[in-house]
Amino acid sequence: MKLILFGPPGAGKGTQADKIKSHYNIAHLATGNIFRRNIKNKTNLGQKVKSILDAGKLVPDETVVDLVIDELQHQKYESGYILDGFPRTIPQAEALDDYLSSKDTSIDLFVNLEVPEQELINRILSRADGRSDDTPEKIKTRLDVYHKQTAPVLNHYKKQGKVKEISGVGSIDEIFERIKEVLDQVK
């Protein structure tokens, strides 16, 4: 199963991806984790990404696409994966589609977690592992960027008939049950 887990910042993508990974035994590729690892290790990519993220902006498409396609070459992704935090723009989605098409495959499902904006803000501000851009002003910037640049990706996959909308409100387990209902129809 090749799955994109989608939603705005604070929707619970990482939390739900971990549960999906465990339950279905598939790999989880989170661009945020790759970026954080590079930031922590002070790599060139990490330093570049940190300055971009600290400003509340998105990492350039080319950088993200190269990173993800390189990562997808690893054997652990051969039997399926969850993409979390990618694609975030139409050019990224098109690059992913082109890459997968060159491998005679495609995304099986695009799960969109829907969460009201005030709930997103509250979740982000209460996170234990806060980021340097987890301030009310930067959160607003990230949500604005999401609505302008990332939300159109949803329509890209709607046109392909791959989107399932899931309410991202409730307990972690309640949300996961909704996701499992959808995934069990695909696998």
Q: Which of 19, 16, 18, 66 is nearest to 38 (CA)?
A: 66
Q: Which residue has the higher pLDDT, 47 or 170?
A: 170
Residue 130 has pLDDT above 90, yes or no: no
Report the number of distinct structural domains present in the chain: 1
Q: What is the CATH number of the domain that holds 174?
A: 3.40.50.300
Read off the pLDDT band of 55 (50, 70, 90).
confident
User: Could you give the dihedral angle defined by the CA atoms of residues 11, 155, 64 and 17, in that order, rounded to the nearest 10 degrees?
Assistant: 30
pTM of the model: 0.85
Strand order in the sheet with 81-84: 27-30, 81-84, 2-6, 109-114, 163-167
Decide if 135 contacts 55 (C-beta within 8 A): no
Residue 128 has pLDDT above 80, yes or no: no
What would the pLDDT profile of 140-167 be if each residue is shown by its tens digit? Answer: 888 998 888 888 999 999 999 999 999 9
Q: Of 29-43, 112-126, 172-186, where does mean pLDDT reach its minimum?
A: 29-43
Residue 159: domain span: 2-186
